């Protein structure tokens, strides 16, 4: 497959799909991806990206139309994620742990036109897809094992064999991806990112991690996460190799690191806690150059154990926002002196700590973390209210914002409270909203509650997060019996939760309480009162 415009690449990438294509032009035979026992060179990856882009064009996709990807980590997931932008379209990665109802919501919310999935996953979605009016095509990784329904089915291999076609013209400020993250009002929010956001993020992260062509990165996080997808973008920016891993047990991660000679690992605290309790093969320490933490604070004991396991590896403690892709990191030479710090701004970003009136906080004064710069996303898809809460114009005189500038500059107001010490290092204090962070996932309490109500096994319910060393937070629920019942069938309710929710969302505990549940002055169930009472009860 050839496309003259894709072959005439600039020396430095400005569009997302140019990252692997530029490497293919320079080092066609160099390894790009490994999945199981199979490998793809940069040249082979580029050919498949071009083929997929041509296939989308043959289906008649217009510029900016959305391509949903509902797969575990595999070659097709990566090819579709970069092939859709090469066609001038927008990719929408869906967490493979999501249930059909949640997948259906996302497909409808952003009008996904083409869905890429496997025959097995397609079978699970068959009852959901008819309710997605914008969907026109389904691309299956393997030949379908059943007759097509109302939607035309396309085999992946056939799509890649489409005649060469030139993709739509796009620029770096155009939308390239919509990453869905749970919102405090229940339904997931689609964070809209541009080519510029993702390419600037790749360059920034690869710079401070010092990634290069000799690196092998382990993709252990879901590619629907900003930090998970960042393993691809940073690797492709630097010409490194990525190993795709869908692990079942933490020991599988260690085996892969030893077998593949991994030099860089990025993971969330719950996985690191489990890994730190295992014996690490000595060969890992011989190759591992760094390990990076994201998705919450790393417990000190875990960090110490990891450093004992791999003393030659540098620890990078990071903080990130999906709304701005990446935000801060703590340099390894500061870890001993400031193990609780989330560091300073990554390259090409500025992190501010602001009061409610928009002025900058003094040293050690708590304030809201605000991110400005090239990594600030484009808001939430089709949600003006939530966008206005998080993406706000930067006040004049703050940071690099000069009073004479007439056009507004939008920054991400994180909702997280932090403080900055006299040396400029940031420390996380807490979250202003009610989001729960468990196993590296952001989970909305309202989303949990909506699913509980849908079971019809509860009367009223409230969900909240409780600090948990292994998970970050565990999800707890207080519920009342359904109308006409004296008790909740807890066993049946837990079974329904496991059926309807991803594993990370299933409550760790459900307690029954007589109704009605207490209300706040606005008439809403008082989640804060109930969660505080629960903590007091269980800590007394």
Average pLDDT over residues 447-470: 90
In the chain, % of residues over pLDDT 90: 77
Range(s) of the chain covered by CATH 3.30.300.30? 436-539
Which percentage of the chain shows pLDDT scores above 70? 95
Residue written as tokens 């252990």? 220
Q: Once rounded to an integer, what is the mean pLDDT over residues 280-290?
A: 97
User: Cα–Cα distance between 306 and 298 in angstroms, integer?
Assistant: 11
Judge contact between 96 and 222, C-beta under 8 A: yes
Closest CA to 330 of 322, 264, 338, 185: 338
Spell out a b/e string for 198-225, using b for 16 or more CB atoms within 10 Å of the CB, else e: bbbbbbbbbebbebeeebbbbbbbbbbb
pLDDT for 324-361, tens place per residue? 988 999 999 999 999 889 999 999 999 999 999 999 99
3-class state of residue 149 by DSSP: coil
CB-based burial label for 450 (10 Å; 0-12, 13-18, 19+): middle
- The pair of structure tokens assigned to 467 is 């600090």
Q: How many residues does the chain have?
A: 540
Q: Quick one: pLDDT at residue 4? A: 44
Q: Mind listing the pLDDT tens digit for each residue in 61-84?
A: 999 999 999 999 999 999 999 999
- Based on its alpha-carbon atoms, the radius of gyration of the chain, rounded to whole angstroms, reads 23
Q: Is the pLDDT of residue 3 over 80?
A: no
436-539 has which CATH code? 3.30.300.30
Residues 30-60: tens digit of each pLDDT: 999 999 999 999 999 999 999 999 999 999 9
Rounded CA separation 36/42 (Å): 17
Domain 247-431 has what CATH class? Answer: alpha beta
Interatomic CA distance for residues 168 and 166, integer angstroms: 7
Q: What is the DSSP string of 28-76?
A: TTSEEEEETTEEEEHHHHHHHHHHHHHHHHHTTPPTT-EEEEE--SSHH
Q: Tell me which H or E stretch contains 437.
A: strand 436-438
φ, ψ of residue 77 to 5 degrees: the values are -60, -45
CB 74 within 8 A of CB 35: yes
The answer to whether 52 and 164 have CB atoms below 8 angstroms apart is: no
Confidence band, pLDDT 50/70/90 cuts, at residue 186 = low
Residue 370: closest CA among 339, 415, 403, 421: 415
| Mean local confidence (pLDDT), 497-521 | 90
- Measure the CA–CA gap between 231 and 66, rounded to whole angstroms: 22
Residues 6+ apart with CB under 8 A from 419: 353, 361, 364, 365, 366, 367, 426, 427, 429
Which residues of the chain form CATH 3.40.50.980? 4-192
**Range of weakest confidence among 262-266, 297-301, 387-391:** 297-301
Confidence of residue 443 (pLDDT cuts 50, 70, 90): confident
∠ CA 169-170-173, nearest 5°, is: 165
pLDDT of 525: 80
pTM of the model: 0.85
Residue 262 has pLDDT above 70, yes or no: yes
Give one DSSP letter per residue of 269-289, joined into a string.
HHHHHHHHTSPPPHHHHHH--
What pLDDT was estimated at residue 124?
Answer: 94
Cross-strand bridge partners of residue 70: 117
Q: What is the pLDDT of residue 183?
A: 45
Alpha-carbon distance 204 to 192, whole Å? 19
Other beta carbons within 10 Å of 498: 12
Q: How far apart are CA 145 and CA 264, in angstroms?
A: 39
Instruction: Give the separation between CA 312 and CA 276, rounded to whole angstroms.
Output: 15
C-alpha span between 265 and 451 (Å, rounded): 34
- Name the 3-class secondary structure at 376: coil
pLDDT score recorded for residue 213: 98
HSE-CB for 18 with a 13 A CA cutoff = 21
Residue 187 and residue 108: Cα distance in Å, rounded?
12
Whether the Cβ atoms of residue 132 and residue 52 lie closer than 8 Å to each other: no
381 vs 253: CA distance, rounded Å = 35
Least confident of 445-454, 481-490, 500-509: 445-454
| Stretch(es) of the chain classified as CATH 3.40.50.12780 | 247-431
- Average pLDDT score, the chain: 92
Domain 4-192 has CATH 3.40.50.980: yes
- As given in the structure block, the two tokens for residue 266 are 């990025």
Give the pairing of strands 137-140 and 153-155: parallel
User: What is the 3 state secondary structure string of 165-201?
Assistant: CCCCCCCCCCEEEEEEEECCCCCEEEEEEEHHHHHHH
| Mean per-residue pLDDT, 406-430 | 93
In this prediction, residue 1 carries a pLDDT of 41
Question: Token digits for 353?
Answer: 């700590």
DSSP letter at 31 equals E
Residues 6+ apart with CB under 8 A from 376: 197, 323, 324, 391, 410, 411, 412
Better pLDDT: 399 or 391: 391
CB atoms within 10 A of CB 417: 16
């Amino acid at each position: 497959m050839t496309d003259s415009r894709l072959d005439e690449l600039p020396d430095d990438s400005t569009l997302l799909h140019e990252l692997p294509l530029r490497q293919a032009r320079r080092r066609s035979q160099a390894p790009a991806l490994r999945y199981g026992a199979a490998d793809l060179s940069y040249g082979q990856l580029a050919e498949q990206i071009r083929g997929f882009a041509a296939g989308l064009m043959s289906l008649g996709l217009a510029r900016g139309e959305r391509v949903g990807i509902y797969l575990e980590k595999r070659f097709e997931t990566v090819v579709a994620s970069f092939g859709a932008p090469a066609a001038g379209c927008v990719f929408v990665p869906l967490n493979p742990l999501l249930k059909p109802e949640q997948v259906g919501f996302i497909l409808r919310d952003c009008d996904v036109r083409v869905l890429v999935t496997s025959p097995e996953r397609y079978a699970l979605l068959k009852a959901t897809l008819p309710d997605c009016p914008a969907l026109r095509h389904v691309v299956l990784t393997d030949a379908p094992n059943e007759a097509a329904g109302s939607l035309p089915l396309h085999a992946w291999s056939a799509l890649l064999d489409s005649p060469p076609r030139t993709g739509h013209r796009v620029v770096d400020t155009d939308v390239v991806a919509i990453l869905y993250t749970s919102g405090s009002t229940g339904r997931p929010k689609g964070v809209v990112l541009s080519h510029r956001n993702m390419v600037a993020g790749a360059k920034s992260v690869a710079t401070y991690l010092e990634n290069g062509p000799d690196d092998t990165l382990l993709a252990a996080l879901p590619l629907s996460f900003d930090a998970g997808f960042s393993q691809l973008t940073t690797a492709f920016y630097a010409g490194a190799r990525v190993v795709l891993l869908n692990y079942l047990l933490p020991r599988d991660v260690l085996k892969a690191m030893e077998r593949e000679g991994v030099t860089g690992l990025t993971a969330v605290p719950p996985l690191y806690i489990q890994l730190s309790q295992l014996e690490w093969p000595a060969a890992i320490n011989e190759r591992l150059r760094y390990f990076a933490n994201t998705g919450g604070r790393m417990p000190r004991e875990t960090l110490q154990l990891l450093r004992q396991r791999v003393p030659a590896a540098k620890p990078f403690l990071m903080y990130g926002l999906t709304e701005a892709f990446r935000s801060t990191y703590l340099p390894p030479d500061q870890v001993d002196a400031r193990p609780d710090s989330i560091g300073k701004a990554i390259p090409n970003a500025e992190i501010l700590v602001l009061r409610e009136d928009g002025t900058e906080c003094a040293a050690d004064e708590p304030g809201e973390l605000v991110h400005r710069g090239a990594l600030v996303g484009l808001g939430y898809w089709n949600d003006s209210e939530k966008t206005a809460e998080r993406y706000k114009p930067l006040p004049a005189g703050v940071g690099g914002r000069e009073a004479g500038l007439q056009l507004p500059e939008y920054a991400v107001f994180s909702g997280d409270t932090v403080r900055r010490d006299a040396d400029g290092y940031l420390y996380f204090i807490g979250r202003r909203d009610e989001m729960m962070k468990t196993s590296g996932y952001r989970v909305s309490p309202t989303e949990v509650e909506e699913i509980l109500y849908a079971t019809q096994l509860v009367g009223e319910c409230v969900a909240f997060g409780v600090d948990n060393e292994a998970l970050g937070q565990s999800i707890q629920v207080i519920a009342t019996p359904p109308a006409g019942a004296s008790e909740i069938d807890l066993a049946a309710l837990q079974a329904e939760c496991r059926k309807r929710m991803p594993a990370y969302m299933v409550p760790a505990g459900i307690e029954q309480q007589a109704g009605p549940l207490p209300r706040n002055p606005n008439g809403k169930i008082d989640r804060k009162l109930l969660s505080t009472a629960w903590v007091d009860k269980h800590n007394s």
